Amino acid sequence: MTAVTSVLRGLRSLLVGMGITGREFVRPAVTLQYPHQRPDVSGWGGPIELVTFPETGTHDCIACNACARICPSDCFKIEGKRPEGARKMRATKFLIDFSTCSLCGLCIDVCPTDTLQYSKRYDEAAYRRVQTVNDLLTPFGEDPYLTGKLK
Amino acid sequence: MSALTHLLAGLVGDTVARIVLGVVFIMGFLTFNVLFLIWLERKVAGHIQRRLGPMEVGPHGTLQTVADMLKLLSKELFTPVAADRFTYLLAPILVFMPTLCVASLIPVGDAPAFAEMPYGLILITALSGLTVISIFMAGWSSNNKYAVLGGLRSVAQVVAYEIPVLLAALSVVLIAQTLDLQQLGDTHNWLHLFGLPMPYVVAEPVAAVIFFIGITAETNRAPFDIPEAESELVGGFHTEYSGMRFAMFFFAEYTNMLVLGALGATLFLGAWRGPLLPGWLWIILKAYAVILLMMWARWTFPRLRFDQLMSFAWKLLIPLALANLVVTALVVGLAA
């Protein structure tokens, strides 16, 4: 008798299992087709970038090196120049090595002009080490303060 | 098709033309079937695990298996130094032959099958038992302990599971009173409910379940895939095979699935009979339905341990199939 009931119970468990996989089979897949579909990155803090302020149309980095000093991984190399007759410096070179950056965000907190922020980038893989070092000033082009367009 | 036969018959004679065209047609369909089934398997596996499966090559990954086949074709054919060379090379060729013969025996409509046989069912069961010999040849000749273990397991398993498959098929034969696959599709032998002919699965549900379990085991598919249990035997009997030789075993496995699925459809699901659609399409659809069920089971159940597998066959399936056969014989005898 126990043999018969155990066989029946086993058969029932098989059907229950088939039912579970059958249910999952008809539910929609959760795969993200990565290069074709992009994930929602609204909550993600990627490698840092310079903020573009709408009033001036450019960043506000004064090359104070506060970020370079607080950085635990020593990612930064910043050079600056004082425009003629101005009080504040302007950055002329803002190199950051993303291969050592740990996205801790201390530089963002310490920045006196709030011109650093997390970017939304997440696919920063590169083939060569030198490609991980980027000048964050490159997208800004000519500096309007240094060329005298803005005072 | 018949115009082509006539054209060819003028050149080489009628019988040769029929054989050549039949072989070309069956081989062509089986090749397409394997490419399709591997794609389908990966799709089913994906969707059961809520993935998408192959998506990149062709629309919804339909050409993925073509790409895989090209990759396998270009791979090195590796032969182990200590292998029994002749047997090692022969096994992947032989493994495919019995299935091909069986495929030509299954009727796909009112017209006679490509190889018409009055005792077709006996020939099919005899031939499908041959596949295991080439699997054992592959395992033995590889000179690899995992391959030998896989081959040995395969033999033990097929010997055990062929008996319930045969007994299940025999109970249908008792009702139909024929071994001719063509006559299994004759509706006047079927059970009639409310004036409608019912396929044999209605009269023989237990035999149908036993048959399904048996063919799953005979095709070495999960949960009965212990001859190639990846987690314990590397690749089982095909551990040492590479490239197209490995692909031949794959080819044989999926062709075997189709052939045994079609045999199950012929025995239990009413052969090629069905409304609206032509007969050849019905038998293919029914065979694919059986295969889909096998795939569904594969992605649901864990693999059996070897002793569980053996005791399941000898202690449960065979007595059950025998009891079912005896009851069928009594009912048929009393009704006659």
SS3 of chain B:
CHHHHHHHHHHHCHHHHHHHHHHHHHHHHHHHHHHHHHHHHHHHHHHHCCCCCCCCCCHHHCCHHHHHHHHHHCCCCCCCCCCCHHHHHHHHHHCCHHHHHHHCCCCCCCCCCCCCCCCHHHHHHHHHCCHHHHHHHHHHHCCCHHHHHHHHHHHHHHHHHHHHHHHHHHHHHHHHCCCCHHHHCCHHHCEEECCEEECHHHHCHHHHHHHHHHHHHHCCCCCCCHHHCHHHHCCHHHCCCCHHHHHHHHHHHHHHHHHHHHHHHHHHCCCCCCCCCCHHHHHHHHHHHHHHHHHHHHCCCCCCCHHHHHHHHHHHHHHHHHHHHHHHHHHHHHHC
Residue numbers in B near A33 (CB within 8 A): 52, 55
Asked if A27 and B50 come within 8 Å (Cβ–Cβ), the reply is yes
* Interval B172-217: pLDDT, tens: 888 888 887 777 777 666 676 776 777 777 778 888 989 999 888 8
Is any Cβ of chain A less than 8 angstroms from the Cβ of B320? no
Of B44, B52, B299, the CB nearest to A29: B52
Asked if A21 and B48 come within 8 Å (Cβ–Cβ), the reply is yes
Is any Cβ of chain A less than 8 angstroms from the Cβ of B297? yes
* Interval A86-145: pLDDT, tens: 788 888 888 998 888 888 889 999 999 888 888 888 887 889 888 888 888 888 888 788
Asked if B297 and A18 come within 8 Å (Cβ–Cβ), the reply is yes
Confidence (pLDDT) at B323: 92
**Per-chain mean pLDDT for chain B:** 83
- How far is the C-alpha of B183 from the C-alpha of B189, rounded, in Å? 9
* Interval B5-23: pLDDT, tens: 666 666 677 777 777 887 8
Contact, B267 vs B200, CB < 8 A?
A: yes
Confidence (pLDDT) at A16: 92
Beta bridge partners of A78: A94
Confidence (pLDDT) at B326: 92
Confidence (pLDDT) at A110: 92
Give the CA distances from residue A58 to residues A18, A90, B214, B236, in Å, rounded to whole numbers and listed in that order: 61, 11, 74, 65
* Interval B291-300: pLDDT, tens: 999 889 888 8
Question: Is the pLDDT assigned to residue B221 strictly greater than 70?
Answer: yes
Tell me the count of A-B CB pairs closer than 8 A: 37
Rounded to the nearest angstrom, the minimum Cα separation between A149 and chain B is 51
Mean pLDDT is lowest, of B174-188, B212-226, B238-252, for: B174-188
H or E stretch covering A26? helix A2-26
SS3 A10: helix
Mean pLDDT of A60-88: 87
Q: How would residue B254 be classed by pLDDT, with cut points 50, 70 and 90?
A: confident
* Interval B105-158: pLDDT, tens: 887 776 666 667 778 888 888 887 788 888 888 888 888 888 888 888 888 888
Q: How would residue A63 be classed by pLDDT, with cut points 50, 70 and 90?
A: confident
Confidence (pLDDT) at A140: 83
**Phi, psi of B8, rounded to the nearest 5 degrees:** -70, -35
* Interval B18-59: pLDDT, tens: 778 878 888 888 888 888 999 999 999 889 998 888 888 888
Question: Is the pLDDT assigned to residue A50 strictly greater than 80?
Answer: yes
Is any Cβ of chain B less than 8 angstroms from the Cβ of A7? yes
Q: How would residue B322 be classed by pLDDT, with cut points 50, 70 and 90?
A: very high
Identify which has the larger pLDDT, B210 or B306: B210
Name the most confidently modeled range: A9-18, A37-46, B100-109, B221-230: A9-18
* Interval A20-33: pLDDT, tens: 999 988 888 888 88
Rounded to the nearest angstrom, the minimum Cα separation between A42 and chain B is 24
Is any Cβ of chain B less than 8 angstroms from the Cβ of A33? yes
Sequence spans of domains, chain A: 48-140
Q: How would residue A1 be classed by pLDDT, with cut points 50, 70 and 90?
A: low
What is the amino acid identity at position B188? Answer: H
Confidence (pLDDT) at B89: 86
Best mutation target, A24, A25, A37, to test chain B (most B CBs within 10 A): A25
Question: Is the pLDDT assigned to residue B228 strictly greater than 80?
Answer: no
Best mutation target, B50, B57, B60, B216, to test chain A (most A CBs within 10 A): B50
Residue numbers in B near A18 (CB within 8 A): 296-297, 300
- How far is the C-alpha of B172 from the C-alpha of B200, rounded, in Å? 7
The hierarchical CATH code for the domain A48-140 is 3.30.70.3270
